[in-house]
Every structure is written in C-alpha cells, then in structure tokens.
C-alpha cells in the first residue's frame, strides 16, 4: 500500500526534469496524477507510461502557467477527471528563460523580469487560488511549491529567477497561514544543484567541493521530499521550506 493511496495530485512542469520524476514517484505511491505542462506531447507520453506501469490513473494536460485562464482550466480538468484534488505541486518554472537573463540587476530587462514573475510566482498563486476550494472540500489537502536555493541565497546571474523563488517562499507562508484552519498545509522545497540533464553535470561538478555530501543532487532527492511532505507523515508540518541541497547553503 502506497503512502498516497487514493490521493489526487496535480504536478505542474511534469514533462521533464524534477517534475517528471516526482509525478512518477507520486503515482508509484498510489496517487492519481494530472501532469500539466506547456509541452503537451511530453506529459501525454509520461501519463501513458504511468498508466501502463502501475495501473494508477494519470492524465496529461496542456497548461501555460503564464495564463490565468489556462491555469484555472488545468485545475477544473483535473477535478472533472478524478472527482477532486488533494495535492497541488507547483513545480513549473521559467528556468530556461531565467538562464537567458544572465545579467546583473542593473541591466535586467523589465519584460523578461515580468514574464519570469508571471510563470514562477503568479502561476503558482492562481493555481493555488483555483485549487483551494477543492482541497478544502476533500477535508484539507496540501500545496507544495518548488522554490530554489537561489531564493534563499540570492543569485549571481539570475536576479528575476531568484526573486521569484524568494517570493514563492513568502506565498507559501501566507497560504499556510490563511488556509491552515481549513485543513490545508502548504510547504516549499528549495532544491540546490540538481542534475536533470547529463550535459549539465560537468558545469555543476565544479560546485561539488562546496557541498557537504560526496555527490550532487538528483531529481529523485527532490521527489522523495515531495512525497514526504504530501504524506500523512508530514501532517504537522506546514509553512516550512525544506532545503534539498546536499548542504550547499549550510555553511
Ligand atoms: P525543467 O526545465 O527540466 O522543467 C521545467 C518544466 O516546466 C518544463 O517541462 C517546462 O516545459 C515547464 N514549463 C516552463 N514554463 C512553463 C509554463 N509557462 N507553463 C507550464 N509549464 C511550463 O526544470 P527542472 O530543473 O526540472 O526544475 C523544476 C523545478 O525545480 C523548477 O521550479 C526549478 O526552478 C526548480 N529548481 C531546479 C533546480 C535544478 O538544479 N534543476 C534547482 C533549484 C530549483
């Protein structure tokens, strides 16, 4: 029996990287999952893989976190398909876009800044707003936001990305505060350097001496934290940010 048997979850940004691995883990723990992403073929094929592997139900949904109507439709489609919602995992982010913002604050492009905030912060807020009545209707569920170590430390080259991730931690605390008495928990996860693509490994490896572990992060490390926070084992944990970074920020 999985730790999330009978639960219904949405994972945004589920077509690749951490979101894809997390969606598979949630399904392996018994959750029915809606996989949402801009990349529709990506989520469709992962949903098919999950349905084939474990027998748990999974669907793919095309959603653009920058578009409030699309975000609301994502929540509505999930509730229509599965009959409710227990877990919203706000994982999608404008990471590639943020990488193109490889400039100091003094040179930041306001339009790129706005777009980053719209996807990474406002998208999570609108999704939470749409999800809350459904979570409460099921007796309380949980929201898990993917922040970043960059949201805690500042970031040398991606100020918009770092600011959006810091604001997500604040949103996490507000949602936990406002919805706690309705039975809803809200927590954030702050991953450090997680190797989601082999081609990133060499670039990240130079940072290994700054870790307190002997290896860099894997998507599975983040997925394990999400499963824990979504499970009843974490029923007394809310408003927190769990840093999953191999000790990068601990010293
Ligand atoms: P990724 O680029 O592999 O996946 C992000 C997914 O989000 C993609 O599938 C992309 O299509 C989707 N997406 C982007 N914009 C979207 C939009 N407007 N609407 C819907 N979907 C959209 O990234 P990842 O490395 O797996 O990161 C996942 C999360 O973890 C992100 O929130 C990221 O900021 C965070 N994070 C990652 C790392 C890391 O080292 N990989 C570190 C800290 C935080």
Q: Which atom of ligand 1 is nearest to 119's Cα?
A: 18
Could you tell me the distance, in angstroms and rounded to a whole number, from the CA of residue 181 to the centre of ligand 1? Answer: 31
Q: Please, are residues 89 and 10 in contact by the beta-carbon 8 Å criterion? A: yes
Could you tell me the distance, in angstroms and rounded to a whole number, from the CA of residue 212 to the centre of ligand 1? Answer: 25
The per-residue pLDDT for 209 is: 96
Q: Please, are residues 8 and 56 in contact by the beta-carbon 8 Å criterion? A: no
Taking residues 23-38, what's their average pLDDT?
Answer: 97
The per-residue pLDDT for 60 is: 98
State percent of the chain over pLDDT 70: 96
CA distance 71 to 67: 6
The best mutation among 12, 15, 18 to test binding of ligand 1, ranked by most ligand atoms within 8 Å of the C-beta, falls on 18
The per-residue pLDDT for 96 is: 54
Q: Is residue 33 packed enough to be buried (19+ CB in 10 Å), middle (13-18) or exposed (0-12)?
A: buried
Above 0.90 for ipTM, yes or no?
yes
Tokens coding 250:
């601990």
Could you tell me the distance, in angstroms and rounded to a whole number, from the CA of residue 96 to the centre of ligand 1? Answer: 8
Written as one string, the DSSP assignment of 84-130 is: --SEEEE----HHHHHH--S-GGG--HHHHHHHHIIIIIHHHHHHHH
DSSP classification of residue 240 = -
Active site residue 204: no
Tokens coding 232:
């009843």
Q: Is residue 184 helix, strand or coil? A: coil
The best mutation among 93, 97, 118, 171 to test binding of ligand 1, ranked by most ligand atoms within 8 Å of the C-beta, falls on 93
The per-residue pLDDT for 100 is: 54
Mean pLDDT score across all residues of the chain = 94
The per-residue pLDDT for 95 is: 78
Could you tell me the distance, in angstroms and rounded to a whole number, from the CA of residue 48 to the centre of ligand 1? Answer: 21
Q: Would you give the distance in Å from CA 166 to the centre of its chain?
A: 14
Taking residues 18-46, what's their average pLDDT?
Answer: 98
Tokens coding 72:
């609301």
Residue among 141, 161, 166, 167 flagged as catalytic? 161
Question: For 88-109, what is each residue's pLDDT tens digit?
Answer: 999 999 975 545 556 778 888 8
CA distance 59 to 231: 21
Q: Is the pLDDT of residue 157 over 90?
A: no
Strand order in the sheet with 58-62: 58-62, 32-37, 8-12, 87-90, 142-146, 185-191, 241-244
In this prediction, residue 159 has a pLDDT band, given cuts at 50, 70 and 90, of: confident
The per-residue pLDDT for 36 is: 99
Helix (H) or strand (E) holding 36: strand 32-37
Q: What residues does ligand 1 touch, defined as CB less than 6 Å away? A: 12-13, 15-19, 37-39, 63-66, 91-95, 119, 146, 148, 191, 193-194, 196
Could you tell me the distance, in angstroms and rounded to a whole number, from the CA of residue 62 to the centre of ligand 1? Answer: 15
pTM above 0.90, yes or no: yes
In this prediction, residue 200 has a pLDDT band, given cuts at 50, 70 and 90, of: confident
Number of C-beta neighbours around residue 177 at 10 A: 12
Tokens coding 10:
């949405």
In this prediction, residue 85 has a pLDDT band, given cuts at 50, 70 and 90, of: very high
The best mutation among 20, 45, 74, 92 to test binding of ligand 1, ranked by most ligand atoms within 8 Å of the C-beta, falls on 92
Q: Please, are residues 7 and 21 in contact by the beta-carbon 8 Å criterion? A: no
Q: Is residue 58 helix, strand or coil? A: strand
Q: Which residue has the higher pLDDT, 187 or 111?
A: 187
Q: Which atom of ligand 1 is nearest to 149's Cα?
A: 43
The per-residue pLDDT for 203 is: 86
Q: Which atom of ligand 1 is nearest to 39's Cα?
A: 11
């Amino acid at each position: 029996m999985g730790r999330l048997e009978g639960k219904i979850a949405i994972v945004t940004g589920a077509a690749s990287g951490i979101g894809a691995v997390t969606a598979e883990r949630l399904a392996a723990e018994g959750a029915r999952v809606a996989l949402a992403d801009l990349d529709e073929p990506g989520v469709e094929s992962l949903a098919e893989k999950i349905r084939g592997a474990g027998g748990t139900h999974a669907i793919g949904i095309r959603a653009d976190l920058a578009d409030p109507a699309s975000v609301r439709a994502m929540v509505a489609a999930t509730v229509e398909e599965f009959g409710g919602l227990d877990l919203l995992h706000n994982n999608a982010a404008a990471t590639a876009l943020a990488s193109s913002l490889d400039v100091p604050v003094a040179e930041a492009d306001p339009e790129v800044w706005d777009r980053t905030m719209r996807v990474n912060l406002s998208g999570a807020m609108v999704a939470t707003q749409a999800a809350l009545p459904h979570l409460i209707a099921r007796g309380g569920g949980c929201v898990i936001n993917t922040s970043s170590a960059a949201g805690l430390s500042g970031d040398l080259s991606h100020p918009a990305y770092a600011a959006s991730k810091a604001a997500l931690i604040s949103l996490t605390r507000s949602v936990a505060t406002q919805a706690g008495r309705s039975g809803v928990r809200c927590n954030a996860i702050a991953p450090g350097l997680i190797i989601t693509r082999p081609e990133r490994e060499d670039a990240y490896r130079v940072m290994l001496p700054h870790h307190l572990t002997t290896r860099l992060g894997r998507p599975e490390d983040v997925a394990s934290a999400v499963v824990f926070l979504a499970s009843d084992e974490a029923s007394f944990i809310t408003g927190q940010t769990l840093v999953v970074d191999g000790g990068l920020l601990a010293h």
